[in-house]
């Protein structure tokens, strides 16, 4: 058994900010499935939205967020997070993040940061670091964590299950409230499972876009935190709102990567395969409309023309500016033989971000005692039905920081007697071949039946199939020793079922949820879907 004051599950911006802040008063363990930088934050290209310009206001950022979220966001939450934006930027600067500054500036300071614009924003308010903002933030956070003697980092370790009263014998008396006392954690290299006992546990494990066959996320994004919280008894909110990024690179082989929205912010335009612009027909903001609108417009154009992609054209923009601002995109496109300063980029929508998740307050509190959540795993009410571009890193860092500074975090905890993990000691390789195909099958089901455009008939069909698949996976999980791939597949199945069930509850189209049976907004459903 390993004992800590704080256990952090996940190593993105939310997890590492929380680890750094709680290390000021306790011993912290950071558990991450692969290398510490293998997370969605590291993939984030665009930047962090914050009001830093004299031409911008908190009220305008709040309104942009609320409108992009199809008026489902919580205005109090939106205000709290957005008004903390400038402080978060200063915090990341102090940690050593190397944001892009104005050309005539030499000093890395808030006043000198260069700002760009993205879809749904009324102003230039995106702080960025070329087109690798997340990577450079992670560099700074990782460096600070590695040099901190209060933080132990466990790479290639995976949380299998949260330790709650479900694992406690309760021989003498009942434990009345669901509480968390850490997690069972597996060393992915040895498959050994240990007890990580902690006074407080932070879920910062990211989203679950790997549920879909086509997505922009790293392969670690299997919704582990959402699934563990669900199994432990936490409420989930708004799981139907899965945001598809409009411009993911398209290749016939299926290889994809994100093409930042900031490219459109600098003037790139979306065209069909005949070279015709079409976004002005769908929204007054054209190519800079909110992501849900752009994704559906592209999907409609592709369906109408039987195309598999559209083009993102930046060839009319200054070539030197493009290469300076977007070196990552330049490098990735050249790998596929495309010079994006001279020819358009083939793109198509791909699953990108979960607007829903574990129901969480503005300081990270969940339904379960001693358990917190921050980042994409959580649903705070900021995003509503669709996330405004570059609000994700803002939310993750603000919530993690607020959670770490909640006075209740230092409350003492009385631990029950925690049993060791029971390893069954065998693994049926023959049966696993059947179960291992489930991950691919789930991806195809979700892509076809619960994607950008949905129908209730197909959602019901998906629900039946997913229930059967989950039963098979769970039976295998119960009767075999644990492996990383088994846990991930089970977690993906749980997330897929939660998305479909939530989508069936919402009989309207709002934000990232569009169902052909109910194509319009319905004020009767201007409420959260709580599971």
Active site residues: 291
Closest CA to 102 of 137, 128, 140: 128
Q: Which residues pair with 48 in a beta bridge?
A: 127
CA–CA distance, 246 with 328 (Å, rounded to integer): 18
Report the alpha-carbon distance of residue 137 to residue 117 in Å, rounded.
19
- Tell me which H or E stretch contains 3: strand 2-9
Q: In sequence order, which ranges of 69-189 are alpha helices (DSSP H)?
A: 75-83, 85-95, 133-146
Q: Give the list of residues 6+ apart from residue 190 with CB closer than 8 angstroms, or none.
A: none
Q: Is 65 helix (H, G, I), strand (E, B) or coil?
A: helix
- In 3D space, the residue among 360, 321, 361, 355 whose CA is nearest the CA of residue 341 turns out to be 321
Integer Cα distance of 46 and 117 in angstroms:
9
- Residue pair 224/491 in contact by the 8 Å Cβ criterion: yes
CA proximity to 484, closest of 180, 153, 190: 190
- Sheet of 378-379: strands edge to edge? 236-237, 357-359, 378-379
Residue 433: CB partners within 8 Å, gap ≥ 6?
Answer: none
Cβ(169)–Cβ(163) under 8 Å? Answer: no
Contact 39, 11 (CB under 8 A): yes
Tokens, residue 270: 């979306």
Helix (H, G, I), strand (E, B) or coil at 41: helix
Residue 5 and residue 27 in contact, taking contact as beta carbons nearer than 8 Å: yes
Cα–Cα distances in angstroms (integers) from residue 461 to residues 242, 435, 457, in the given order: 19, 20, 6
Residue 284 DSSP one-character state: T
């Amino acid at each position: 058994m390993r004992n800590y004051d704080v256990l952090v599950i996940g190593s993105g911006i939310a997890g590492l900010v929380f680890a750094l802040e709680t290390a000021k008063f306790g011993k912290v363990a950071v558990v991450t499935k692969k290398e510490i930088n293998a997370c969605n934050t590291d993939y984030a290209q665009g930047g962090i939205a914050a009001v830093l310009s004299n031409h911008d206001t908190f009220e305008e950022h709040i309104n942009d967020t609320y409108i992009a979220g199809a008026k489902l966001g919580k205005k109090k939450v939106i205000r709290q997070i957005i008004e903390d934006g400038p402080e978060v930027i200063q915090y990341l600067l102090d940690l050593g993040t190397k944001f892009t500054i104005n050309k005539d500036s030499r000093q890395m300071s808030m006043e000198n940061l260069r700002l760009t614009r993205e879809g749904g924003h009324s102003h230039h308010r995106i702080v960025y670091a070329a087109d690798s903002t997340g990577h450079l933030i992670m560099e700074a956070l990782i460096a600070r964590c590695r040099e901190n003697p209060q933080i132990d980092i466990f790479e290639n370790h995976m949380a299998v299950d949260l330790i709650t009263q479900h694992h406690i014998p309760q021989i003498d008396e009942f434990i009345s409230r669901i509480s968390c006392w850490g997690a069972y954690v597996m060393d992915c290299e040895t498959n050994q499972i240990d007890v990580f006992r902690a006074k407080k546990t932070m879920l910062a494990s990211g989203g679950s876009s790997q549920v879909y066959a086509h997505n922009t996320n790293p392969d670690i994004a299997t919704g582990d935190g959402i699934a563990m919280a669900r199994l432990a008894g936490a409420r989930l909110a708004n799981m139907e709102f899965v945001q598809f990024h409009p411009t993911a690179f398209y290749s016939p082989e299926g290889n994809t990567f994100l093409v930042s929205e900031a490219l459109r912010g600098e003037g790139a335009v979306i065209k069909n395969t005949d070279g015709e612009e079409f976004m002005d027909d769908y929204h007054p903001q054209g190519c800079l409309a909110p992501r849900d609108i752009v994704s559906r417009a592209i999907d409609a154009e592709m369906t109408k023309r039987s195309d598999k992609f559209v083009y993102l054209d930046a060839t009319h923009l200054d070539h030197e500016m493009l290469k300076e601002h977007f070196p990552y995109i330049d490098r990735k496109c050249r790998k596929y033989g495309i010079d994006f300063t001279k020819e358009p980029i083939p793109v198509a929508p791909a699953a990108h971000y979960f607007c829903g998740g574990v129901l969480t307050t503005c300081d990270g509190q969940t339904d379960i005692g001693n358990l917190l959540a921050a980042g994409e795993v959580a649903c705070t009410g900021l995003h509503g039905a669709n996330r405004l571009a570059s609000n994700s890193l803002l939310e993750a860092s603000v919530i993690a920081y607020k959670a770490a500074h909640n006075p209740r975090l230092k409350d003492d905890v009385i631990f029950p007697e925690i049993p060791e993990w029971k390893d069954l000691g065998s693994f049926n390789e023959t049966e696993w071949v059947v179960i291992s195909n489930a991950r691919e099958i789930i991806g195809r089901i979700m892509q076809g039946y619960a994607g950008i455009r949905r129908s209730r008939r197909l959602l019901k069909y998906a629900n039946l199939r997913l229930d059967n698949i989950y039963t098979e996976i769970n039976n295998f999980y119960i009767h075999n020793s644990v492996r990383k791939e088994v846990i991930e597949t089970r977690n993906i199945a749980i997330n897929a079922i939660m998305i479909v069930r939530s989508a069936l509850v919402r009989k309207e189209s709002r934000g990232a949820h569009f169902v052909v049976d109910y194509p319009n907004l319905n004020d009767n459903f201007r409420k959260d879907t709580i599971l």
